């Protein structure tokens, strides 16, 4: 029930949504019970792994917010604070930030390190997630 509420609420919400480790397991992928990647969502998703003190993360945040509006209804945008969501950061071996996880509806997710320009992020979304 919680997972379906979370998925429904996020599908309707605009903007970048904060995601906890438990919400990730409930609505994205339950890595505790499944070894192989099994995305639970119906729309592509992006998770921005960040911390509040990271300069490049602060520069990425408004880009992600803008893109969440541009791709509203097509791609879900999330952010996870690696200091608050340590288990999730550990699972994805986040050792430097920002890192962005691009999750297509089928196939394997793509984890990229560093701050990419907005145009490059758009290209990744269009080609890898929306397959334009």
Q: Give tens-digit pLDDT for 69-128.
A: 999 999 999 999 999 999 999 999 999 999 999 999 999 999 999 999 999 999 999 999
Instruction: Using the predicted structure, report yes or no on whether residue 131 has a pLDDT greater than 50.
Output: yes
Instruction: Using the predicted structure, report yes or no on whether residue 17 has a pLDDT greater than 80.
Output: yes
How far is C-alpha 119 from the geometric centre of its chain's CA atoms? 18
C-beta of residue 15 within 8 angstroms of C-beta of residue 68? yes
- Domains in the chain, CATH or no CATH each: 2-129 (3.40.30.10)
- Classify 30 as helix, strand or coil: coil
pTM of the model as a whole: 0.88
Rounded CA separation 67/70 (Å): 5
| pLDDT at residue number 113 | 97
- Catalytically active residues, by annotation: 54, 57
> Parallel, antiparallel, or unpaired for β 45-50 and 99-103?
antiparallel
């Amino acid at each position: 029930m919680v997972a379906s509420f979370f998925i429904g609420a996020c599908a309707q919400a605009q903007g970048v949504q904060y995601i906890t480790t438990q919400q990730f397991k409930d609505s994205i992928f339950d890595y505790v019970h499944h070894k192989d990647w099994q995305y639970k969502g119906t729309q592509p998703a992006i998770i921005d792994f960040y911390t509040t003190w990271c300069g490049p993360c602060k520069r990425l945040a408004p880009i992600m917010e803008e893109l969440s509006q541009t791709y509203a209804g097509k791609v879900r945008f999330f952010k996870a604070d690696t200091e608050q969501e340590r288990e999730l950061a550990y699972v994805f071996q986040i050792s430097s930030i920002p890192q962005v996880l691009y999750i297509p509806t089928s196939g394997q997710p793509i984890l990229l390190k560093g701050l990419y320009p907005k145009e490059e992020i758009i290209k990744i979304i269009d080609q890898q997630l929306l397959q334009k």
